[in-house]
A = this chain, B = another copy of it.
Amino acid sequence: MRLELSAEDAAFREEMRTFFTTQVPQEIRDAVASRRELSKDDIVRSQRILNAAGLAVPGWTVEWGGRDWTPLQRHIWHEEMQRACVPIPLAFNASMVGPVIATFGSQEQKERFLPPTANLDIWWSQGFSEPDAGSDLASLRTTAVRQGDEWVVNGQKTWTTLGQHGDWIFCLVRTDPDAPKKQQGISFLLVDMTSPGVTVRPIQLIDGGHEVNEVWFEDVRVPAANLVGEENKGWDYAKFLLGNERVGVAPVGQTKRVLAQAKEWARAGGVLDDPLVAAQFADLENDLLALELTALRVVAHSADGKPHPASSVLKLKGTVLQQAVSELVVDIAGPASLASGATADESDVDDWARVATPAYLNLRKASIYGGSNEVQRQIIARTILGL
């Protein structure tokens, strides 16, 4: 047992820290630091800078731009990025569709899609959830019917995060409605969002932002070559995609950063001396430390192929803490949090205090999207505890 990083890993950390704090434009990092919404352009610019340096998709195979890093190095890369307020490479590209194409796609698909996916030349959206298929994803009803060398897609996807920026969308579609189990008969299809019949409609969230969308498919014709892997095996690819990551499951670095900033805000507002506020900080900081160390245990775990059981703690507790920190920030803002709809010109309230409640409300989604905390508890109870 040893806590220290090896000399090699320590040097690696230093290299990452230097890169992120010097090569990514300050204005983008400032926007992240003040929890402002990023523009599409900010996200694209940042990812291209990373990609040019080989830092956008390190988890991919080396052939397609990946790096042969250890899980610990990928963890360090991921934490240092958050610490430096650098936007994480778009998850739909880097962690989702990229690995699926790289693992299950045809050579043509790889050549066509992987380089622009890494460079965010293609902005991918995710077409999984449907109005009646949320936690029960396998009951999805969007269909793709084969006609000649095309698939004809009909149906509706929802909760499509940042779908308004999407160039392409990867979808789970039902290709065999007669399959004996609902998990069977599903395929994984890549759809050009400029195709006739694709409509993206915004869903406004309770924080007032437009972050998710409905995507409608009406007789959308998709070339057969855009089906990934085998027909009717899409559920396996979706499971691969969702269970793929050991690194970055919990937003540790980002939550730590917000908590550290909140300390400054509390100090400036004179409330850090309140013993109850200080105790809340100490308690959250300790929980976050325990979470970070759990993430480190998971990544440092000798890779025998099986995920470390504690990894299922990460998403569950990670979202709970992210939400709790956002709640504390609202309390520190106090009455100033009411100035949420004001522009900087209209208000004497600090930026951070004006976004405090919208951020808190927005983060209620964290325990719902991407496998709700109820689903996580179910996984722990069944898979780990055998209940």
**A residues engaging B (CB < 8 A)?**
275-276, 279
Contacts and interface: CB of A to CB of B under 8 A. Distances in A.
Contacts of A279: 275-276
A148 B279 CA distance: 72
- Identical subunits present: 2
A contact patch SS: helix
A197 to B, nearest CB: 41
A275 B279 CA distance: 10
Nearest to A274: B275
5 contacts: A275-B275, A275-B276, A275-B279, A276-B276, A276-B279
Contacts of A276: 275-276, 279
A276 B281 CA distance: 13
Nearest to A276: B279
A122 B276 CA distance: 53
Contacts of A275: 275-276, 279
A274 to B, nearest CB: 9
Nearest to A279: B276
A235 B76 CA distance: 64
A276 B280 CA distance: 10
A275 B280 CA distance: 13
A280 to B, nearest CB: 11
A312 B275 CA distance: 36
Nearest to A275: B275
A328 to B, nearest CB: 16
